[in-house]
Amino acid sequence: MQPSTAERIARLSAHISPSNLQMGESSMLERANCRAKGGAPGFKVAILGAAGGIGQPLAMLMKMNPLVSVLHLYDVVNSPGVTADISHMDTGAVVRGFLGQKELEAALTGMDLVVIPAGVPRKPGMTRDDLFNINAGIVRTLCEGIAKCCPNALVNLISNPVNSTVPIAAEVFKKAGIYDPKKLLGVTMLDVVRANTFVAEVLGLDPREVDVPVVGGHAGVTILPLLSQVKPPCSFTPEETEFLTKRIQDGGTEVVQAKAGAGSATLSMAYAAVKFADLCLRGLRGDAGIVACAYVDSKVTELPFFASKVRLGRGGAEEVYQLGPLNEYERIGLEKAKQELATSIQKGVSFIKK
Ligand SMILES: NC(=O)C1=CN([C@@H]2O[C@H](COP(=O)(O)OP(=O)(O)OC[C@H]3O[C@@H](n4cnc5c(N)ncnc54)[C@H](O)[C@@H]3O)[C@@H](O)[C@H]2O)C=CC1
Ligand SMILES: O=C([O-])CC(=O)C(=O)O
C-alpha cells in the first residue's frame, strides 16, 4: 500500500540534519534521493572568505561562470546562509558550504583554483600595510591548508597587503615543499579595471576598448600604470598623466573614504576578481593567448615579486613579460615603486622565516 502524504513527509523530514539545513539542503527530498548526478565538466573552485563584502558578490558571479562545475564557499562565519542563498541560482555549478577551521580541509580537497578574499579591510586613515598583523596570520593558515589538500591548485590571492601576503604564501608553500611559482598569483586586476575606466573617461572612450598595463604592486606608489603603453595608442598631457597616475594609485583610498568606515572596495573587487579568475580558468582549459596583469614571482626586476603582464596557461602564469619601453615619468615611478616593494616583500618573507 502507498504511504500517505503525511507519512512520506515525516520519513523525508527525518533525513534533514540541522547542519544540512544550515548548508542550504533544506528541501523535503534529501539530495541523495534526487535524480541529479552532478559532475558536469568544468573546474572546481573554492572561495576562502566567501561570506565577506568581496566574498558574497564574488560567489554569486562565480556561480554564473560556465567554466565552474563545483563551487566551495568557506568562511569562519555565515557561510551556511550565503551557500543556501547562492545554491538556489539556476546555473550549472554545484555549491557547497564550509564553516570554520575544522571544515577547511574538506573545502579545499580536489580544488583546481582557490580564490582568497579572507581578512580585514581598511578603514579611513589606514594603509594596506596596517592590515598586516591580522591578515598575515589568516593567509598563513589558509595557505597551509592549500599546501596539504590541493597543492596543485592555482591560487588567486586578494587579501591585503597583497605586496606582503603573496611572499607569505610563497614561504608557506616552500616550507611545505610544494611551491610552484607559476601557480601563485596576487590579484591586481582591480588596478587595471580602474585604470581602464579612468583613462577611458579622460579620452572619452568606452572602457571596454581601453587596455592599460599596471605594473609593480598593489599599494600607493607601487601601483604603476604604464600610460605610455595604453591601447588604443594615445598621448596624454603632463597634467593628464599626473592626474591619472594619482587617481589610479589612490583608487582604493577613494572608495575607503567614500564608504566612511564601512570597509573598502567590494563590488568592483568582486567584478575584477571574477574577470581575473575567468582568465585563469581559460588558461587552465588550454586557451591560447590569455594575458593579464598579476603580482607574481618574477625576474623582471631585481625584486623577487613584481606585477606585470603574464601569459596564463595550463600551468598558471607560464610566462612573465618584460615591462617594455618606459618614459621618464614611468622610470622615476618604477624606482619609487621598487623601494617600497622591497620593504613589503621582506616583511612578508620574515613573517614566516622568523
Ligand atoms: N587585492 C585587491 O585589489 C583588494 C583587496 N582587498 C582586501 O580583501 C580583503 C577582504 O575584504 P572584504 O571582503 O571587504 O572584507 P570583509 O571583512 O567584508 O570580509 C572578509 C571575510 O573574511 C572572513 N575571514 C576572516 N578570517 C578568516 C579565516 N581565517 N578564514 C576564512 N575567512 C576568514 C571574514 O569572516 C569575512 O567574511 C581585505 O584584506 C581587503 O583589504 C579589498 C579590495 C581590493
Ligand atoms: O584600498 C583598499 O584597502 C582595498 C584595495 O586594495 C583596493 O580597493 O584597491
Tell me what pLDDT residue 9 has: 42
What is the sign of the dihedral through the CA atoms of 9, 11, 14 and 20? negative
CA of 193 to the centre of ligand 1 (A): 19
Catalytic residues: 218
Tell me what pLDDT residue 41 has: 81
Q: What CATH number does the domain located at 38-186 have?
A: 3.40.50.720
User: Ligand 2, residues 269, 271, 295: which to mutate, most atoms within 8 A of Cβ?
Assistant: 269
Q: Is the CB of 54 under 6 A from ligand 1?
A: yes
Which residue CA neighbors atom 9 of ligand 2 most closely?
252
- Give the CA distances from residue 341 to residues 155, 167, 210, 217, in Å, rounded to whole numbers and listed in that order: 21, 11, 27, 7
Quote the CA–CA distance of 228 and 41 in Å, as a whole number.
42
Q: What ipTM did this prediction achieve? A: 0.99
Quote the CA–CA distance of 196 and 65 in Å, as a whole number.
23
Q: What is the pTM of this model?
A: 0.93
**Using the 8-state DSSP alphabet, how is residue 33 labeled?**
G
Instruction: Report CA 184 to chain centroid distance, whole Å.
Output: 11
What secondary structure does DSSP assign to 133-156, as a single string? Answer: HHHHHHHHHHHHHHHHH-TTSEEE
Q: pLDDT tens for the chain, 354 residues: list them.
A: 455 545 444 443 333 333 444 444 445 677 667 666 555 689 999 999 999 999 999 999 999 999 999 999 999 999 999 999 999 999 999 999 999 999 999 999 999 999 999 999 999 999 999 999 999 999 999 999 999 999 999 999 999 999 999 999 999 999 999 999 999 999 999 999 999 999 999 999 999 999 999 999 999 999 999 999 999 999 999 999 999 999 999 999 999 999 999 999 999 999 999 999 999 999 999 999 999 999 999 999 999 999 999 999 999 999 999 999 999 999 999 999 999 999 999 999 999 998
Q: Are 264 and 252 in contact (CB under 8 A)?
A: yes
Tell me what pLDDT residue 33 has: 72
Tell me what pLDDT residue 164 has: 98
Residue ranges covered by each domain of the chain: 38-186, 189-353
Q: What is the CA radius of gyration of the chain?
A: 22
Looking at residue 348, its amino acid is: G
CA of 253 to the centre of ligand 2 (A): 7
Of the bound ligands, which one is closest to the alpha carbon of residue 128? 2
Q: Are 47 and 74 in contact (CB under 8 A)?
A: yes
Tell me what pLDDT residue 354 has: 84
User: Ligand 2, residues 264, 268, 271, 344: which to mutate, most atoms within 8 A of Cβ?
Assistant: 264
User: Which segments are annotated as binding site?
Assistant: 49-55, 75, 122, 128, 135, 158-160, 194, 269
State the pairing for strand pair 214-216/223-225. Answer: antiparallel
Quote the CA–CA distance of 228 and 248 in Å, as a whole number.
15
C-alpha cell, 114: 582557490
Domain 189-353 in CATH 3.90.110.10? The answer is yes
Quote the CA–CA distance of 163 and 35 in Å, as a whole number.
47
Q: Is the CB of 194 under 6 A from ligand 2?
A: no
Domain pair 38-186 / 189-353, same fold:
no
Q: Is the CB of 80 under 6 A from ligand 1?
A: no
What is the sign of the dihedral through the CA atoms of 86, 47, 158 and 75? positive
Q: Is the CB of 252 under 6 A from ligand 2?
A: yes
